[in-house]
C-alpha cells in the first residue's frame, strides 16, 4: 500500500521486474533515493540488503547463491522455463538449465512438460528440446496446488442415486455392434458366472445380441476363445487362456463314475480332444452319445460346440420322439465338434479380478466384490490400491476416487464415467433413465438387490 510495505515485499520475495506487480513507479524511485532499493542492469529492482547476494550470483556465478535466487523466484513469481529465467537474470541458458535441474534433484523444484505431466530431472542434459519447453515450479507450491486441485475435483463429483445405477445395468444389456462382436462382449461380461443352462439361449444371449441364432454361438465356440462347463445343472463360460494347463483335468467325481464313463474318460485322457465318431470303438457295440452327455452333465467333459447342451436340455423330448428323430439327433452330434476333458482354471491375479468386477458391475464395493468372488480385504490391500492408483483418469470423471479401508465406499470404474455426475449435471443425467422395454432382471444384477429398492410389481419380471 506504500513504500514501506514495498520494501518489506522486496526483502521477502527478492527481485522485482517490470510487470511483476501493479505499483506506482514513484515508490521505487523514492526508495532508490533513500538508498533502500537498487536497480540492476538486468532490469531488476532489489532491496539494498540483497546487493551482495546478487553480486555473487550474477558476477561471480556463486552456485549456492544462484540456487537460492532461482528457488525464491519460483516461490514468488510462479513457474518459469529455463529460457525465461536466463533472460530475467542474464545467465547463460545452459547454466540456468543445470541450476534448475539441481533444484529438482534436491526436490526443491518440479519440472513439468507442456502436457502438465511431471518429468524426472535429467542428469545428462541430453533432452535439450524437451528441456527448452519444460516449466519449473516450486516444489511446495506444486504439491499444494495438486492437493487442492484433487480436493476440488473430488468435491465436484457426486454419486448418482441408486435408481440410476439400477437403470444403467439393464441398459447395458443390448450392445449396438455386429452380432459376432456383441456375442463376444456378452460372453466376456458373463464369463465365470454359472446360470441355468436353458437361460443362455432363451434369455441371456438373445437380449444381448441382435439377431441371435444358434449357429452364431457354435461358430464362435469353434474358434477356441471360450469354453463351457456344467455345474449341477448350471452352465458357465470361461476363457481358454485362464486354464491352468499344469494341473490335471477335473476328476472330482471319478469315484461315482460307471464303467462306461471310466472307459470314455480314459480314452479322452489318452487321445485328447476327439470327435464322437472317433470314440465309437471305445464302447463295443454301443454309441458313446449317452455316456458323453452323462459326463458333460457331471462337469467332467465339454465340447467346442453348444449342440450337446441343447440336446441335453431336450433329452426327454428326444426320448419320446420317433426313432428317425433320435437317429437324426445322434448324427448331428457326430459332426457337432470335439469333446474334451474340463481342466481347472488358474487363480486370477488381483488386477484381473478387479478388471472383471469393473466390467461386470461398473463399480467396486463390498457387495459387488462379493458377487464377483473378489475378497474385499484383498481389494483393500496396499498392492491392490497401488494398481488402482495407476489407472488413468478419464473425463468426464474429474478425479478418480481411490479405494480406502472403510465400509461402504465405492470406486467408479475408469471405463464407466456414467456412474458419476457433477453437482451441476446436464439434463441427460438429471433423471434416472427408464430401462428398455421387456428387460428382465436376471442373475447378473443380483448383487445390487441389497443396495437398491425393489421395483414395484409389474415393472420387471424376475427370473432365475
- Residue 104 banded pLDDT, cuts 50, 70, 90: very high
Q: Which has more pLDDT, 410 or 107?
A: 107
From 75-79, 322-326, 429-433, the region with the lowest mean pLDDT: 429-433
What's the confidence (pLDDT) of residue 442?
38
Across the chain, what does the average pLDDT equal? 77
What's the confidence (pLDDT) of residue 459?
39
- Residue 102 banded pLDDT, cuts 50, 70, 90: very high
Q: What are phi and psi of 362, to 5 degrees?
A: 75, -30
For the cut 60, the answer to whether the pLDDT of residue 432 exceeds it is no
CA 161 vs CA 396, 398, 452, 454: distances in Å? 18, 19, 10, 14
What's the confidence (pLDDT) of residue 250?
67
Cα-based angle 103, 106, 109 (whole degrees, multiple of 5): 45
For the cut 80, the answer to whether the pLDDT of residue 321 exceeds it is yes
What's the confidence (pLDDT) of residue 227?
92
Question: Per-residue pLDDT averaged across 401-408, rounded?
Answer: 34
What's the confidence (pLDDT) of residue 105?
92
For the cut 80, the answer to whether the pLDDT of residue 415 exceeds it is no
Q: Which has more pLDDT, 263 or 416?
A: 263
Task: Render pLDDT for 233-261 as a digit per residue (tens, 0 to 9).
Answer: 899 999 998 888 888 876 655 557 888 88
What's the confidence (pLDDT) of residue 117?
47
Share of the chain above pLDDT 70, in %: 77
CB atoms within 10 A of CB 253: 12
What's the confidence (pLDDT) of residue 390?
55
Contact 304, 297 (CB under 8 A): no
pTM over 0.85: no
Burial class (CB in 10 A: 0-12, 13-18, 19+), 406: exposed
For the cut 60, the answer to whether the pLDDT of residue 420 exceeds it is no
User: Residues 350-354: contacts with CB within 8 Å, 24+ apart?
Assistant: 350/374, 350/378, 350/379, 350/381, 350/383, 350/384, 350/387, 351/384, 351/387, 353/378, 354/379, 354/384, 354/387, 354/388
Contact 99, 67 (CB under 8 A): yes
For the cut 80, the answer to whether the pLDDT of residue 100 exceeds it is yes
Task: Render pLDDT for 366-400 as a digit per residue (tens, 0 to 9).
Answer: 888 888 888 888 877 777 777 666 554 443 333 33
DSSP one-letter code for 278? G
What's the confidence (pLDDT) of residue 449?
46
DSSP one-letter code for 145? H
What's the confidence (pLDDT) of residue 406?
32
What's the confidence (pLDDT) of residue 1?
63
Residue found by looking up cell 455386429 in the block: 178
Question: Per-residue pLDDT averaged across 166-195, rounded?
Answer: 85
The closest alpha carbon to 77, from 4, 9, 30, 23, belongs to: 9
What's the confidence (pLDDT) of residue 248?
80
Q: Which has more pLDDT, 73 or 353?
A: 73
Cα-based angle 458, 462, 464 (whole degrees, multiple of 5): 165
Strands 118-119 and 80-81, sheet pairing = unpaired
What's the confidence (pLDDT) of residue 430?
39
Quote helix, strand, coil % in the chain, to nearest 5.
Answer: 50, 15, 35
The closest alpha carbon to 118, from 103, 141, 135, 101, belongs to: 135
Amino acid at each position: 500500500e506504500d513504500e514501506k510495505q514495498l520494501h518489506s515485499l522486496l526483502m521477502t520475495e527478492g527481485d522485482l521486474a517490470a510487470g511483476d506487480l501493479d505499483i506506482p513507479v514513484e515508490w521505487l524511485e523514492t526508495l532508490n533515493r533513500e538508498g533502500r532499493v537498487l536497480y540492476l542492469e538486468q532490469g531488476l529492482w532489489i532491496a539494498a540488503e540483497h546487493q551482495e547476494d546478487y553480486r555473487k550470483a550474477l558476477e561471480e556465478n556463486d552456485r549456492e547463491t544462484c540456487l537460492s535466487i532461482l528457488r525464491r523466484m519460483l516461490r514468488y513469481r510462479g513457474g518459469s522455463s529455463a529460457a525465461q529465467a536466463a533472460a530475467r537474470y542474464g545467465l547463460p541458458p545452459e547454466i540456468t538449465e543445470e541450476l534448475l535441474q539441481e533444484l529438482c534433484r534436491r526436490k526443491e523444484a518440479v519440472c513439468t512438460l507442456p502436457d502438465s505431466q511431471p518429468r524426472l530431472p535429467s542428469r545428462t542434459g541430453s533432452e535439450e528440446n524437451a528441456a527448452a519447453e519444460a516449466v519449473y515450479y516450486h516444489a511446495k507450491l506444486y504439491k499444494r496446488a495438486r492437493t487442492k486441485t484433487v480436493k476440488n475435483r473430488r468435491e465436484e463429483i457426486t454419486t448418482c442415486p441408486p435408481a440410476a445405477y439400477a437403470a444403467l445395468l439393464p441398459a447395458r444389456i443390448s450392445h449396438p455392434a455386429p452380432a459376432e462382436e456383441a456375442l463376444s462382449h456378452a460372453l466376456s461380461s458373463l464369463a465365470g458366472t454359472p446360470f441355468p443352462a436353458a437361460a443362455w439361449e432363451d434369455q441371456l444371449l438373445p437380449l444381448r445380441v441382435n439377431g441371435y441364432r444358434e449357429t452364431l454361438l457354435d461358430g464362435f465356440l469353434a474358434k477356441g476363445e471360450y469354453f463351457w462347463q456344467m455345474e449341477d445343472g448350471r452352465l458357465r463360460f470361461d476363457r481358454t487362456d485362464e486354464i491352468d494347463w499344469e494341473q490335471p483335468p477335473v476328476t472330482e467325481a471319478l469315484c461315482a463314475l460307471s464303467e462306461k464313463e471310466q472307459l470314455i474318460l480314459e480314452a479322452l485322457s489318452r487321445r485328447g480332444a476327439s470327435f464322437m465318431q472317433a470314440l465309437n470303438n471305445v464302447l463295443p457295440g454301443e454309441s458313446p452319445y449317452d455316456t458323453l452327455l452323462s459326463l458333460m452333465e457331471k462337469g467332467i467333459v465339454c465340447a467346442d460346440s453348444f449342440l450337446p447342451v441343447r440336446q441335453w436340455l431336450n433329452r426327454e423330448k428326444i426320448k419320446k420322439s420317433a426313432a428317425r428323430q433320435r437317429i437324426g439327433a445322434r448324427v448331428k452330434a457326430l459332426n457337432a465338434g470335439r469333446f474334451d476333458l474340463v481342466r481347472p482354471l488358474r487363480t486370477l491375479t488381483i488386477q484381473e479380478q478387479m478388471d472383471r468386477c469393473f466390467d461386470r458391475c461398473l463399480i467396486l464395493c463390498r457387495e459387488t466384490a462379493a458377487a464377483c468372488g473378489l475378497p474385499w480385504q484383498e481389494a483393500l490391500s496396499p498392492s491392490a490400491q497401488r494398481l488402482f492408483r495407476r489407472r488413468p483418469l478419464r473425463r468426464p470423471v474429474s478425479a478418480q476416487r481411490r479405494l480406502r479401508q472403510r465400509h461402504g465406499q465405492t470406486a467408479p470404474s475408469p471405463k464407466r464415467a456414467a456412474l458419476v455426475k457433477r453437482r451441476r449435471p446436464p439434463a441427460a443425467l438429471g433423471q434416472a433413465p427408464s430401462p428398455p422395454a421387456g428387460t428382465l432382471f436376471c442373475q447378473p444384477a443380483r448383487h445390487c438387490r441389497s443396495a437398491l429398492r425393489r421395483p414395484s410389481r409389474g415393472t420387471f419380471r424376475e427370473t432365475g
